[in-house]
Chains A and B, each alone.
Chain A
Amino acid sequence: MNLPSDDMLTTQGLLLDHTSGKVLLIGCGALAREILDLKAANNWSHLDLVCLPAILHNHPERITPAVRAAIEKHRSTYARIFVVYADCGTGGQLEALCHDMGVDMVAGPHCYSFFEGNEKFAANSESDFSAFYLTDFLVRQFDAFVWKPLGLDRHPQLREMYFGNYTKLVYQAQTDDPALTATARDCAARLGLAFERRLTGYGDLKASLAALR
């Protein structure tokens, strides 16, 4: 199938990709390509996907209500719904919602953690404390997701106030793509940070989806 554009995924999300009617994934737009890729590679034709706009992350208080609306909209057509979000700064509210509505979700604080593997991420937290992470999606959407919302296009002098305490940019690569790596390296330079690349693949995301029947 055709991959949705990244701009679409940031601002609008994705409509139902397919209608097996079995398991519905309600995911973050920042994970759409990754989920579609996993589906295709593993023949998970029983998983349907709908995505919410990735940019909700800059207003985490809007995530839980948006997920609630999506669950309400689709729960009559699907026996099983799985939420492909981590906590994402909702302070436990998304987890509470999923619990109340009887649906499961991905474990972990955010996608940087589950891509690396939640256990490993937690174990590294001391040494990585001054790291700023980018995923494949964020590298592609760096301007729309980071640069512009933080106003760095209009007010470059704010860079120091945002990133003054950071030392490195860690690019968590889901796919091995030299062009993306070059862009990520450029993002680090724009932020004035050292660059590090880790090939994480899909981490815990794959295991979470593989378990769905």
Chain B
Amino acid sequence: MSEDQDDIILSELDDDELVPQMFDDLYDGLREEIEEGVTILLGRGWTPYDVLTKALVGGMTIVGNDFRDGILFVPEVLLAANAMKGGMAILKPLLAETGAPRVGKMVIGTVKGDIHDIGKNLVGMMMEGAGFEVVDLGINNSVDAYLDALAAEDADILGMSALLTTTMPYMKVVIDTLIEKGLREDYIVLVGGAPLNEEFGKAIGADAYCRDAAVAVETAKTFVARKHNSGAQA
């Protein structure tokens, strides 16, 4: 950016101005500005958890809504996610130290044959933002890769992503294997990806199909709370 009069000095803004400015910077995908904003808020005594939820997740929610409504397209979402990632990298070690709330643990990955990962990454990030621990298996995951990770990580939630009509059916293969091994009830299974829909989620035996990252977070919270309640009664 040029050194003209429009340049905003983030450190000169008070909190009430800085947070909306960070929303704007996230919207514009400005990674360095986000990293700077995060550092400033931490320096002012904000807890890492507050920086995450109030500044980053708040901003990313706006991005997510505008993507859903067709105002933003993929590159803008990717840039915003990248900026958020920069902020998260600073916050993550601190979150662990400060004992921020842990809601549950999710294993997430794109299914076998599919390399699309933008949506999956976004969901993973927003889940982390909501206090979930997320283990990202990346792309092209086989049944074994999912099952091994679920066991090794002692996860609560399995998240599967697919963007291709040819790879969506593989989700059913994974769920059927869980059933076969008597493990289905141990996990909350959430599925997503643009070509999926609610009907498909039901048909393959997932707990829920989630249209976007915001819905994924809300759904995961609801199911985890339900699981804990029923666990307490049992």
Contact = CB atoms under 8 A, between A and B. Distances in A.
**Same complex origin of A and B:** yes
Interface of A: 58-61, 87, 89-93, 109-110, 113, 122, 125-126, 129-130, 149-152, 154-155, 158, 161-162, 165-166
A contacts with B: majority SS: loop
Contacts of A152: 75
A86 B147 CA distance: 33
Interface string B137-172: 001100000000000000000000001111010000
12 contacts: A87-B165, A89-B164, A89-B195, A90-B165, A90-B195, A92-B195, A92-B200, A122-B166, A129-B140, A151-B74, A151-B78, A152-B75
Interface string B68-86: 0010011110110010000
Contact of B165 (A109, A155, A161): A109
Interface of B: 29, 70, 73-76, 78-79, 82, 113, 115, 117-118, 139-140, 163-166, 168, 194-197, 200
Given A89-B194, A91-B168, A91-B200, A165 B117 contact: yes
A166 B166 contact: no
A158 B78 contact: yes
Nearest to A150: B75
Q: Chain A CB within 10 Å — which of B29, B140, B165, B195 has the most?
A: B165
Nearest to A125: B113
A107 B17 CA distance: 55
A158 B165 contact: no
A89 B79 CA distance: 24
Task: State the 8 A-B residue pairs at the shortest beta-carbon distance, nearest first.
Answer: A151-B75, A91-B195, A109-B165, A87-B165, A109-B166, A165-B115, A89-B195, A165-B139
